[in-house]
Amino acid sequence: MCGIVAYAGHKPCHRILIEGIKRLEYRGYDSAGLAVIQDGKLALQRAAGRIASLEEILDETTAHGTVGIAHTRWATHGAPTTSNAHPHLDDSGRIALVHNGIIENYAALKTWLQSQGKHFSSQTDSEVLVNLISFLYRGNLVDAVQKALKEVEGTYGIAVISSDHPETIVAARKGSPLLVGVGENEHIVASDAAAIVEHTTRAVYLEDGEMVVITPDAFRTITLDNITVDKELENIEFSLQQIELDGYDHFMLKEIFEQPTSLENTLRGRIDLQAGRAILGGLENVKDQLAQAKRIIIIACGTAWHSGLVGEFLLEHLARIPTEVEYASEFRYRNPIIEPGTVVIAISQSGETADTLAALREAKEHGALALGIVNVVGSTIAREADAGVYLHCGPEIGVASTKAFTSQLAVLTLLAIYLGRRRSLDHDQAQRLLQSLTEMPARIKNVLCLSDQIQKVAQSCLDREHWLFLGRGYNYPLALEGALKLKEISYAHAEGLPAAEMKHGPIALINKGMPTVFIATSGSQYEKVISNIEEVRARGGMVLAVATENDTRIQTHAEAVFTIPDVPEPLSPLLVVIPLQLLAYHCAVGRGCAVDKPRNLAKSVTVE
Ligand code: F6R
């Protein structure tokens, strides 16, 4: 997972490139570099570490060029060193390339290129590609890139420049997103819109198999066979301000606090209260097929998988459609049984997660109706799904997913009502739920007031290395999500479990002071959760509880209680997750962790 920015214009571009890759740093941040065409030559600057390290070494070498490419890397082949950082030059030093993705047949290509006299100075698959382009280059850069890409197996988003063509950048995509910002006498190619919006809000999204050739004054989209593709200019939906910190210490905290607004955006225009119906325009084309759905399979990874688990409860409860949830990475490799009437739903914030995308393709090949629940507009999953629903929760920059999760829950609730109303769910039931759903942004706002209380509790647990999160029913996936949030950003070990499973083994872990977070909201399984709490207390565990307002009993069973408003059970996950996100956040800050960029993690996992 890496970030690419390429600029062709009339302004000195090295600061533009640096600012651009900084906005993409969430995509990867183990090394960075840029190459600019200056005085007819390629000037290259690279550094291991974050972009700040690159800035430290930047000098006049690249200060005046107006065409250049830049990259922030997340290593796949070769350690995060300066020599493995992008851009990579061919062995003649006349062509430079930045690459996101993986060239799967790079080893065979490298051996062959070596036998043809090519020299390599890195361990990367990307350097193989630039040398292949160079080997095939006969004066026409576009032609050489096209020929090279036809030899390549794997995925790529690339941008290529050559000192022989000082005004031109050639870019191409397969399996790795790229878009072209179209400005006044300037064009910018980037892995996502965050690097572009400062300069222009007009953009063209490339599809797999497409290329673009940009100069300061023109762009041309073509296929690998050099056939011109007419693309529509689209408006980038979000402003730069939306992706800045807005006064918060971290993107994660900003995004947690944005949830009342992001949820409102997700719900806008999708509720017809009077009719007791959900309006999902993105499903209009497939509504007849959906009405025939016999079985639903949800595929996703990580936090999106957890929202899928809540979706399973919602769809079975409200729409009475048998639903399963699968890890996308498992689904894709096990030749799944897809019968007529099977609907597969891929859930993904980024819309680019490799496993989820591959699972979606697998489902389509088997004849399933494939839907996407995706945040990033124009992302690959969004484009490849037969139909779908966008989250519209705005860009999520913090690596830990927060506001996308609540928007996924909201869309799944709407979907369950949408399908349920065509089956067993009656008008009044649906209307009540929809009414409560419209009240959720305000309720989340109230729950966010717990932040200070949660920070104090977190302070008292900073030295705890092992945590349990337990819940039942709708709250079981929330226990998983609470544990995932904590471990990924604070590096404390945490496990989430269905509360009743504890006694089948994990109870052996409980010792004095071990923090155990129970989700004990009022509902069908409340009494049983109270019994589970007592089992933990009897062994000296420290009980923290998420419970419902006005529950006076719970206070005597827990060291700390985080209360949320009483709402219908299917909607409670939207509130329960807020204290869990805040707990993880405050623990991570207290432990001195890099909250927005946790170690070993990148925002979007576009490799297997
Ligand atoms: C956890 C987290 C990840 C993602 C997962 C799927 O906080 O962010 O677990 O949820 O990598 O990503 P998307 O939703 O982009 O497919």
* Ligand 1 centroid to residue 604 C-alpha, Å: 7
Alpha helix segments (H runs only) across 104-227: 106-115, 125-136, 141-151
581 lines ligand 1 (CB under 6 A): no
Residue range 543-579, pLDDT digits in tens: 999 999 989 899 888 999 999 999 999 999 999 999 9
Name the pairing type of β-strands 169-174 and 156-162. antiparallel
State the pLDDT at residue 239.
Answer: 67
State the pLDDT at residue 118.
Answer: 97
Q: For residue 251, name the pLDDT band (cuts at 50, 70, 90).
A: very high
CB 90 within 8 A of CB 43: no
pLDDT at 77 over 90: no
Q: How far apart are CA 392 and CA 369, in angstroms?
A: 23
* Ligand 1 centroid to residue 302 C-alpha, Å: 5
State the pLDDT at residue 26.
Answer: 66
Sign of CA dihedral 335, 337, 343, 348: negative
Q: How far apart are CA 23 and CA 199, in angstroms?
A: 13
State the pLDDT at residue 240.
Answer: 65
Sign of CA dihedral 591, 545, 248, 4: positive
Closest residue by CA, ligand 1 atom 11? 302
What's the average model confidence in pLDDT over 2-15?
95
pLDDT at 233 over 80: yes
- 3-state secondary structure (DSSP) of residue 348: strand
Name the pairing type of β-strands 67-73 and 41-48. unpaired
Percent of the chain residues past pLDDT 90, beyond the cut: 79
What's the average model confidence in pLDDT over 121-144?
97
Residue range 427-477, pLDDT digits in tens: 999 999 999 999 999 999 999 999 999 999 999 999 999 999 999 999 999
CB 1 within 8 A of CB 607: yes
Q: How far apart are CA 186 and CA 8, in angstroms?
A: 6
Candidates 377, 485, 487, 605: which one to mutate for ligand 1, based on the most atoms within 8 Å of Cβ?
Answer: 605
State the pLDDT at residue 524.
Answer: 82
For residue 395, give every residue at least 6 positions away whose Cβ sits within 8 Å of its Cβ, in sequence order, or none.
193, 194, 238, 242, 243, 376
Give the phi and the psi of residue 116 in degrees, each rounded to 5: -95, 5
Residue range 177-224, pLDDT digits in tens: 899 999 999 999 999 888 999 899 999 999 999 999 999 999 999 999
State the pLDDT at residue 122.
Answer: 95
End-to-end CA distance of the chain: 11
396 lines ligand 1 (CB under 6 A): no
pLDDT at 241 over 90: no
What's the average model confidence in pLDDT over 396-422?
96
* Ligand 1 centroid to residue 477 C-alpha, Å: 15
pLDDT at 290 over 70: yes
303 lines ligand 1 (CB under 6 A): yes
Query: Which domains, from first to last, does the chain contain?
Result: 3-236 (3.60.20.10), 241-425 (3.40.50.10490), 447-594 (3.40.50.10490)
The residues carrying an active-site annotation are 2, 603
Q: Between these two residues, 291 and 166, which has the higher pLDDT value?
A: 166
pLDDT at 238 over 80: no
* Ligand 1 centroid to residue 405 C-alpha, Å: 9
